[in-house]
Structure 1
Amino acid sequence: MGLKKDFILLTKPYYWVNILLSLSYLLAKKTPGVCAYLFTPKESECELDSRETEILFFLAIVVMIRTRKAGSVTMINYLTSSFIYTKIANLLLWAYADYLYGVVFGVIFTITALVLPEPTYSGPENVTYFRSEFALDDELENDRKVAWIVAFYTVWNPACVNFAPIFSELSAEYCLENLRFGKVDVGRFPGTEKKYHVSDSSLSRQLPTIILFRNGKEVLRRPGADSKGKLQTFFFSKDNIKAAFNLNTLYKECKENGVSSSESSKDK
């Protein structure tokens, strides 16, 4: 997703409201009139004390770690991955200043989460969703001439959520009748999780996992393991996926077989 698209998305209420909530305590502290009204008229009260500084420092560390694990590579990804942590930190800061302020912020926090859900990708896609335990196996056996790029994911994992629109865009750009894109929710199908060695643990670094199948067999996956079996870090950006799976060459090879593009998404 380009920077221009990121700024367009920022105009949506979900983003600017959450940005305001994430900065609410600092804005209140640094705005003289607001600070004097909410806290005390003393000038010292408009400066952060040691406890408030500790909370903000801890927040910065958590956000950096969690967004890195989530594979956040764009401004929007960083924001959406950090909102929950910044808002919890603000809840603690408001409650530390006055428990009533904490209650009010908590109510606002809850209402905005219900009224302003995160915008979801609404563009074109050519993705087959495998909705049974053996659907992927059956499809791979059904026609070995088809190359499949399959995303193994869970609905609750932030990295999977961030990657979903990227995978949809890639499917719309590269899908052919003999080059197809699929998704499997490993949280729903434990058998699939075990067979393809993709852990859905909350501590797992395998979500999402993208596997390329050719002739019904796995030929490449990301993230992959090194020679010692250690999982290698992989950032799921559009360019990284194109490079890792050599999509341009794969697309050209499949297209030269004379097969027309797939026109619609399918459920299995």
Structure 2
Amino acid sequence: MGTNHPLPWLNLMVAEPFYLFHFLTFFSYFIVRSSATQALSSQFSDRLLHREIQAILAFLVLTVVKGFLMAVALIMDYHLALCYMVGFLVIFVLTQQPAYHELGNASQLTPLQLETLLTEGNTSRFWLVEFRALCSSRCIRTSRFMSDLSITYSNKNFSFGTVDLGHFPNAAEKFGISLGVSMGQLPTYILFDNAVEVSRFPEVDYEAKASTPTIRKNLLCRHFELDRRLIDYVSGR
């Protein structure tokens, strides 16, 4: 529904404290700057303007908002820099980055809906399902992957879905997923072929619990051979 709004990012900014506080903290610098200008000598103001231009150029290269603030704040006064450090720390502790809300061509499923889809003969042969819990920061960081992959790779033969184990924790045992943070199994991606699991990521390895690689879209593409499966579908194989 958010995509129909002329300014969906504005709704997100107002609704999510994570973005709102970062927005307010960033633009508070300009208020501090304008207030301080009256108390600064013209020579210092010119030197500060020169430094600000340097910081803006660095910002354009690095595209790091916090780095811009910290660089300029350190030039003006290390006390101000310390205040911004504390401010960002408070935002980090009190707020959480929201998950990506757009589903693309992926379906948001309950465990019962998933079981029904897998057992029905008239649905896609392949289902790639992400099992996640949005209380996990790792799941939040990867929350847009299924949407992006589904837009590229979904077809009549291959479908995508997500199941939130935060809402249905009892389903974790059924699919062999540990909800423990130390196990590194959230999110888990399982590929079903005609209702039978044929591959999963990360693979269950109780001897190497801490060695789960960083989840990336290209890693998921390779692991589940999405490009090959799409070519097979297009070529009619």
User: What is the TM-score of this pair, normalised by structure 2?
Assistant: 0.60
The 2-side partners of 1:216 and 1:236 are apart by: 24
Give the fraction of aligned pairs with identical amino acids, expressed as a percent. Answer: 23
The answer to whether the 8 A contact 1:186-1:198 is kept is: no
Relative to structure 1, the CA distance from residue 122 to residue 154 in structure 2 (aligned partners, 3 Å threshold; closer, same or farther) is closer
The 1-side partners of 2:100 and 2:184 are apart by: 24
The 1-side partners of 2:192 and 2:133 are apart by: 20
Relative to structure 1, the CA distance from residue 25 to residue 175 in structure 2 (aligned partners, 3 Å threshold; closer, same or farther) is closer
Match of 1:146 among 112, 125, 132: 125
The answer to whether the 8 A contact 2:128-2:192 is kept is: yes
How far did 1:190 drift?
A: 2.1
**Higher relative contact order structure (alpha carbons within 8 Å, sequence separation ≥ 6):** 1
2:58: which partner in 1?
none
The 2-side partners of 1:248 and 1:151 are apart by: 18
Amino acid at match of 2:141: N
Match of 2:189 among 201, 210, 215: 210
Unaligned stretches of 5+ residues in structure 1 = 1-11, 40-45, 47-51, 53-86, 92-104, 259-268
The 1-side partners of 2:26 and 2:181 are apart by: 28
Relative to structure 1, the CA distance from residue 188 to residue 121 in structure 2 (aligned partners, 3 Å threshold; closer, same or farther) is closer
The 2-side partners of 1:244 and 1:135 are apart by: 25
Match of 2:208 among 217, 220, 230: 230
1:84: which partner in 2?
none
1:99: which partner in 2?
none
Relative to structure 1, the CA distance from residue 230 to residue 130 in structure 2 (aligned partners, 3 Å threshold; closer, same or farther) is same
Relative to structure 1, the CA distance from residue 252 to residue 229 in structure 2 (aligned partners, 3 Å threshold; closer, same or farther) is farther
The answer to whether the 8 A contact 1:176-1:255 is kept is: no
Match of 1:17 among 11, 17, 26: 26
The 2-side partners of 1:140 and 1:255 are apart by: 23
How far did 1:179 drift?
A: 0.3
Measured against aligned partners, the alpha-carbon deviations of 1:191-236 in whole angstroms (never above 9, x if no partner) come to 211111212234340111101000211110011135x753452322
The 2-side partners of 1:145 and 1:217 are apart by: 13
For residue 160 of structure 2, give the secondary structure of its aligned residue in structure 1: strand
1:179: which partner in 2?
158
After superposing the two structures, state which structure 1 stretch, 19-28 or 145-154, moved more. Answer: 19-28
Aligned length: 178
The answer to whether the 8 A contact 1:151-1:210 is kept is: yes
For residue 203 of structure 1, give the secondary structure of its aligned residue in structure 2: helix
Unaligned stretches of 5+ residues in structure 2 = 1-18, 28-63
1:200 is the counterpart of 2:179 = yes
Measured against aligned partners, the alpha-carbon deviations of 1:30-66 in whole angstroms (never above 9, x if no partner) come to 42x524xx49xxxxxx9xxxxx9xxxxxxxxxxxxxx
The 1-side partners of 2:66 and 2:146 are apart by: 30
How far did 1:253 drift?
A: 2.5
After superposing the two structures, state which structure 1 stretch, 248-257 or 186-195, moved more. Answer: 248-257
Matches of residues 29-44 of structure 1 in structure 2 within 5 Å?
A: 30-31=74-75, 33-35=76-78, 38=79
The 1-side partners of 2:151 and 2:141 are apart by: 17
1:65: which partner in 2?
none
For residue 128 of structure 2, give the secondary structure of its aligned residue in structure 1: strand
The answer to whether the 8 A contact 2:135-2:166 is kept is: no
Relative to structure 1, the CA distance from residue 213 to residue 198 in structure 2 (aligned partners, 3 Å threshold; closer, same or farther) is same
The answer to whether the 8 A contact 2:191-2:224 is kept is: yes
User: What is the TM-score of this pair, normalised by structure 1?
Assistant: 0.54
Measured against aligned partners, the alpha-carbon deviations of 1:229-266 in whole angstroms (never above 9, x if no partner) come to 534523221111111111011122234449xxxxxxxx
